[in-house]
Chains A and B, each alone.
Chain A
Amino acid sequence: MRKLTFGLMFLVLVAVASGCAPQKKAMYYWDGYSKSLYEYKKSPSDETFAKHVESLQNIIKYSTENNMKVPPGVYAEMGYYMLVAKKPDEATKFFKLESQNFTESTIFMEKLIETAKQNDKPKPTKTGEAQ
């Protein structure tokens, strides 16, 4: 009898607890983003970098498959890595995606697209950016 009472109490508790939790759909899907980025920062290597890029790709894949908005900055970060890897066309593609996903980013993305274009041309000489 005692066991039964306990069981019942437990059930009630679970019901109450789950009732309190918000049942709304998650806003964004982030996969293992924070962890993979931290691992990459802690010990930068091809391997940790590849893991982090994989996180970004997973985020994009999962979000688009589930009709969720890709979280802010994810396309842009992919674009930035493409820029560093000297793939300006790929970079531009991602910067445009960020801009479409969040129009707030447009001013910044246009600047990055401009940088990508300049990287595309053969560099004459290395000059410091004049402000």
Chain B
Amino acid sequence: MKKYRLLFLLVGAVFVISACGPKIITKKEAFPGMYARKINSILVVPPINVTTAADASEYYSATIAEPASFTGYYIYPIEVVNAVFKKEGMADSALLLKAPPKKFREHFGADAVLFITITKWNTAYFVIGGNVQVGMEYRLVSTETGEVLWKYNENLVVDTSGGRGGGIAGLVLKIVETAIKTATTDYVPIAHRVNVMALSTMPYGQYNEAYMKDQDAKVVNEDKIKDQPPKQE
């Protein structure tokens, strides 16, 4: 009997969790334009970095090629594209945001441009704990019509708090452990995971087996496609 009660509680808990969670919608509901346009190629431009970490853009660029390729679109060679923009004096792409999207079609042949804003790239310490945070905003813009085809805001916080221990000695140990863990936690695998999480909501392109078969995939968190409060736009 006791066992049943536990099961019952568990089922109840699952219901409560799912009811309270964010609203999850399908890819088609979230990004109808993407299915209508049928794009084949995506130009990922250098990221816009609004954090205080000066090296975030450079490091971040190393994490996007791989997960982006699995979406099934042709992804222009990111390192080469970055070098070209750097030569043109457009390494930080706030300038690129102002360029008419058609230009990217002319120069590269791209069907869409992916703008990425790095919103979080920091470590935080509090009294007895710490964490590493990475956050991104993604916007995919059609070079034909200028419309936003896909967008997503995603972030990940990795807890780097040290192990628990009793007494003053334990506390000191914990603080030291936290400091070490936080300082040595690499941003790159975290950024990689943020990319994978966000890109999994993008309708697949022609090189992916699921191309035009994923309309009903219920994977889009409605809260994460809402526009953030405007900053400079």
Contact = CB atoms under 8 A, between A and B. Distances in A.
Interface of A: 24, 27-28, 30, 33-35, 37-38, 41-42, 69, 71-74, 76-77, 79-80, 98, 102, 104-108, 111-112
Interface in B38-83: 40-41, 58-59, 61-63, 65-66, 69-70, 72, 74-80, 83
B77 A73 contact: yes
Interface in B177-217: 188, 192, 207-209
B59 A42 contact: yes
Contacts of B107: 107-108, 111
A37 B62 contact: yes
A98 B192 CA distance: 25
Given A37-B79, A107-B108, A108-B109, A71 B69 contact: yes
B4 to A, nearest CB: 18
Contacts, number: 83
Nearest to A106: B109
B74 A102 contact: yes
Contacts of B74: 72, 102, 104-105
Given A104-B40, A105-B109, 4 more contacts: A34-B62, A34-B66, A41-B61, A106-B109
Interface of B: 40-41, 58-59, 61-63, 65-66, 69-70, 72, 74-80, 83, 107-109, 111, 188, 192, 207-209
A104 to B, nearest CB: 4
Nearest to A75: B77
A28 B192 contact: no
Contacts of B61: 41
B65 A27 contact: no
B83 A27 contact: no
A37 to B, nearest CB: 4
Contact of A41 (B40, B59, B70, B77): B59
Contacts of A73: 65, 69, 75-80
